Each structure stands twice: as C-alpha cells, then as structure tokens.
Structure 1
Amino acid sequence: MFHNESDGERKAKDIAEWLGNAKVHKMHGRPIGIDQAITKGLKIEKLEDNQDLQEAVLSVFHATIVTFQVTDCVKMVENHNGRGVYSQIQIQAVPIPVRGASG
C-alpha cells in the first residue's frame, strides 16, 4: 500500500497498530467506515467509482450469501487459485410433541 513512499513503513505500522487496538475495535459489530479509514491513512478505492470492481465484488458477495443460505456451510476460506476450505455443520430439527395429539 505504501511501497514507494519514504515514510511507508511508519504509515503501515501506525495503521496496523490502530487496527489491532482492542480498545478501539472491541468487536466485529463496530465497522470501520470509509471516511474513518481514509482519515487514518488507508488507501481506499470506492466500489461506486469502479463499476468492474463493484460487479466482481458483488458477484462474490451474492454467491457467498446464497451458499450460506442453501447449504450447511458456516465458514469458507478460498485463495486466488480457486482452492478453499469449507466448514459445515448439520442442523437436525428435533420434533416437538404436540399436546393432545392422539396416536
């Protein structure tokens, strides 16, 4: 991200420390907004400004969401070579007896 910048190593270290600070980022439920990321020095490319990138990212997002909705997959990690590791759990519904049913 800062490869050709004279103070790139310091910038990267500062950003890594900020991102790794548990007092600032206590949980996954606290997203980092684009304005905050830019203010902290991250180089951001807005999806809205690059239609090809936006289409590619949204295609992966939608495929992932559909996979989670229609399979037992709960976690997936894939690399750039098309290889991946997938975690699945099988959820088995337990029948609930109905009161007053005969039989």
Structure 2
Amino acid sequence: MIFGGHSTAHGLRPQGAAPVHPGASTWCLGTGPACTATSPDGRRHVVILGLCGASDFELRCLAGATTPCDIEWRWPGTYAVVEESLAAIIVHTDPSAAFPVYATRWSNGWAWST
C-alpha cells in the first residue's frame, strides 16, 4: 500500500489511486489500513494511515477537536495522521520512522507519500 497527497491540488493522484474518503486529498494506491473521521461541520477530516490502536470513539473525537501534541505516539502501532482542512493539510508521522513519510516541494506546494 502507498498513501500520499498534495498540499494544494485536490484530485491530483497517480493513475489507479483512489481517495481514502470522498473529497479527500489523501489517496491510497492499493489496499491498506486507513481510518477516517469528519468533524460535525464537515470542514475537517482526520485520516489515520497504517495500523493504529485508536478506537473509533477516539478517532471521532480527533475530528472535532484540536490535535493533541502526542498524536504521533499516543496509540500503539505504526501509523501516520493526516489532518485535512480548508486552511491546511498537516501530516504527522512517528518519530521512530516506523511508518516513514517522504515529502518534497512540487507544483506550488508540497507532495508527500509513504
């Protein structure tokens, strides 16, 4: 599985890749574990990519609240967390690089991929 996205170009993804949820800029090429939650107003999405010990309740709470400072290591597993909103896309990955995320400047923004 490969996940990725772009900071400004929604819908831009490799051939064969699909968004992880409708309207997402985060995409998945192949199959892999990904959980998503949307804020009650629909303006913010939180996506957990990879294997994560967060419960469905904890994921739903993330979508409607400020992201905690320990998001990268809060739960057991190897995962990255993507926050998508109209203002920004923020990718959090674990400090041990067990779930590496690569980023580069590209087309008036930045592209990232696992």
Q: Identify the TM-score tier after normalising by the shorter chain.
A: under 0.3
**Higher share of residues assigned strand:** 2
TM-score normalised by structure 1 residue count: 0.25
**Higher share of residues assigned helix:** 1
User: Relative CO higher for 1 or 2, CA cutoff 8 Å, sep ≥ 6?
Assistant: 2
Larger Rg: 1
TM-score normalised by structure 2 residue count: 0.24
